[in-house]
Amino acid sequence: MIALPAAAGLPTRTPLRRASVLLVLAAALGGDALSATDPLRWGADSEGGAPYVFPDPKDPRRIMGFEVDIAGALGRELGRPAVFVQNQWDGLIPGLLRGNYDVALNGLEITPDREQVIRFTIPYYATSEQLSVRKDESSIHALADLRGRTVGTLKFSLAQRILEAERGIDIRSYEGQINAYEDLANGRLDAVLMDWPIAMYYSRPNPKLKFTGPPIGHLEYGIGVRPDDARLLNALDEALLKLVRGGELRRIYETWGLMNPETETLFERLVHSPRALEEFTRTLTQERPWRARVRQYIGYLPLLGRGAVMTLVISVTGMALAVTLGLLLALTYLYGPRPAAWASRAYIEVVRGTPLLIQLYLIFYGLPNIGIRLTPFLAAVVGLGLNYAAYEAENYRAGIQAIPRGQSEAALSLGMTQTQALRHVIVPQALRLVIPPVTNDFIALFKDSSIVSVITMVELTKVYGQLASTYYDYIGVGLLTAAIYFLLGLPFVRLARWAEARMAVDRLVPVSARRRWLGVGSKPASG
C-alpha cells in the first residue's frame, strides 16, 4: 500500500450527521418542512480513492476528499445540506437516472456520449492524463511508445478510451486506481495512464514509480444532473460560478494540492465568457430509430464474441483443474494417511467457507507480496479451479462412498491391491455416478467466470460492462449478453440432463450384471 500525501490527512469533513438529523426532522414535520430543508443528495463512490472521495484514515466512518469539500460548499450556497450517497462509480449515471440521488459528483468527465444521457453543469475542474512507469523504465515517454506493452487504467474512463484509440496496446482496466499502480510496481504492467489527480496521489509518492512524458489529452469534470431537472442545473451553475469568483474553489484545490494550469485557464474562461454557461449545459440528446439500434447491437457482436470465447476458455481450463484436483482431494481424504486426510478436509472446508471473490483478490493481488506474480488469465483459471476443486472433492467422496463395499472386497479377493481396486473398480464406477453433479458444477463455474472481470480479465461480462457504461444501454446490451450466456450454456445443460438420465438407467443394471463385469461368478453356490 502507498501512503497518502500529507494533504490527505487535512481536516476536511462533510456535515453528514447534521444533514441526516435535518432530514429526519423534516420528514416528521411534514412536506412543507421538508421543502425548507431538502438535502442535496450527491452520489459518489467512496471506494474510488484519494483525492476525490474516500474514507478518513483516522475515522473510516467519515468521508473526505476535495469533492466532499465541493459538495459542502455547494450545499451552503444552495442552502441545502449536502448528504453523501454511496454508489459504485461505473453505476453513477444509472443510479442518478433512477433517482437514487440528486446529482452525481465524482470525477465525471464531460463527454458527448454522457451528454446524450444526462446534463452536466459547467465544469468545476480541468486536468489531463498522466503516464506513469517504473523508476528503471527509460524507453516509454509517450503513447506511441506503448505499442506492444501492457498498460493499466481505470475502467470506463477517458484514459481507457485514449488507449483504445491507439493500436497495439494490451489494455488492462481496473475497478480501483490503487490496484493498477500496485501491479505496475510489481511488474505486471509496463505503464499506467490515469487522470493527473490520481497519479499525484498514487504514483508520485511511490518510490518505485515515476511520471514520464508530457500531459496527454484534456478533460473537464462536471456535475451530472437528470435531464428533466433544469431548475437544479441552473442553481448549481450559478453556485459554481460564485465559488469560482469568490475563490472558494481555488482554496479547495490548493488545500489538496490540485491547482493546475488547466484549471486556471478554465476559471478564466468561466469568469470572462458570458456564454460559457450555455455552452456547457447544452444537451446533445437525440432519439435513434429502432433500425439504428439494431445495427448498433449487431456491431457489438464481434466484441461480445471475443469475450464469449475467453469465457469458454477460462471455464473449460478451470474445470479441468477442478476435477483433477478434486479427485486427488477426495482420495486423500478417504484413503490417505491421517495428517494428509486432515489437510485435505481443512482445504475443502476453508475454500467452501470463503467467497470466491476474496480468493481471487488474494491470488491476484496478495501473492505478489511474497514474490508470486500470475497473469490475469492464469490467476482466473487457478482461482476458479482451486475453488471448485473443493466442491468436486465432495462429489467424488459421495460417489466413492456410494459404491457398495462388496465391490472393493470382490476386487481384493481377486488379488488386486488397494490401489488397483480403486483404479480399476471403485473410481470408474464413482466417476459415472458423479457425472451429473459435475456437469451441473461446470454450468455454475461457467456463470461464476464473470467474477474474474475484477482482476482485469476481459471476458464476456467485462465486455458487457464496457459497452453498457459507454452507451448507457444496460437493458439492450444486457439482454444480448444474457442471450449469449444462455446459448453458450445450453449444450452443457443438455449434457447434464442426458447424463442424469443415462446414469439413472445405469444404476438400474442388475447386480448379477455388475458381478459379471467384475469377473465374479454370479451363480450362487449350491447348498
Instruction: Return the CATH number at 499.
Output: 1.10.3720.10
**Do 46 and 101 belong together in one domain?**
yes
**Do 16 and 32 belong together in one domain?**
yes
What Rg do the C-alpha atoms of the chain give, in angstroms?
A: 30
Q: What is the DSSP letter of 424?
A: I
**Do 246 and 298 belong together in one domain?**
no
CA atoms of 224 and 115, how far apart (whole Å): 9
- Side chain identity, residue 479: L
> At how many degrees (to 10) do helices 230-245 and 248-255 cross?
70
Q: pLDDT for 267-302, tens place per residue?
A: 988 877 554 444 444 433 445 566 777 777 788 788
Q: Which of 3-12, 34-43, 99-108, 363-372 has the lowest mean pLDDT?
A: 3-12
**Do 372 and 449 belong together in one domain?**
yes
Cross-strand pairs, 154: 174
Neighbours of 1 (CB within 10 A): 5
Proportion of the chain above pLDDT 90, given as a percent: 46
Q: Output the pLDDT for position 307.
A: 84
The answer to whether 52 and 108 are in contact (CB under 8 A) is: no
Residue 253 belongs to a domain = yes
Q: With 70 as the cut, is the pLDDT of residue 3 above it? A: no
**Do 232 and 132 belong together in one domain?**
no
**Do 342 and 406 belong together in one domain?**
yes
Which of 196, 220, 244 represents a domain boundary (last residue)? 220
**Do 256 and 322 belong together in one domain?**
no
- pLDDT confidence tier of residue 368, bands split at 50, 70 and 90: confident
Q: pLDDT for 393-445, tens place per residue?
A: 999 898 888 888 878 778 787 888 888 888 888 888 887 888 888 888 888 89
Find all residues with CB under 8 Å of 472, minimum gap 6, and list them: 93, 94, 113, 114, 116, 117
Range(s) of the domain holding residue 10? 6-108+224-281
Nearest by Cα to 57 from 20, 106, 2: 2
**Do 47 and 104 belong together in one domain?**
yes
Q: pLDDT for 93-152, tens place per residue?
A: 988 998 999 999 999 999 888 998 999 999 999 999 999 999 999 999 999 999 999 999
The answer to whether 63 and 92 are in contact (CB under 8 A) is: no
Question: In three state form, how does the secondary structure of 349-404 look?
Answer: HHHHCCCHHHHHHHHHHHHHHHCCCCCHHHHHHHHHHHHHHHHHHHHHHHHHHHCC
Q: Output the pLDDT for position 478.
A: 83
DSSP conformation letters of 9-37: GS-----HHHHHHHHHHHHHH-HHHHHHS
The answer to whether 82 and 71 are in contact (CB under 8 A) is: yes
Q: What is the pTM of this model?
A: 0.60
Segment (H or E) for 83: strand 82-86
Residue 442 belongs to a domain = yes
Q: Output the pLDDT for position 303.
A: 80
The answer to whether 387 and 315 are in contact (CB under 8 A) is: no
**Do 317 and 268 belong together in one domain?**
no
**Do 336 and 273 belong together in one domain?**
no
Give me the chain's average pLDDT, please: 82
- Side chain identity, residue 101: Y
Task: State how many domains the chain has.
Answer: 3
Look up the CATH number of the domain holding residue 51.
Answer: 3.40.190.10
**Do 352 and 422 belong together in one domain?**
yes
Q: Output the pLDDT for position 32.
A: 38
Residue 119 belongs to a domain = no
Q: Output the pLDDT for position 27.
A: 39
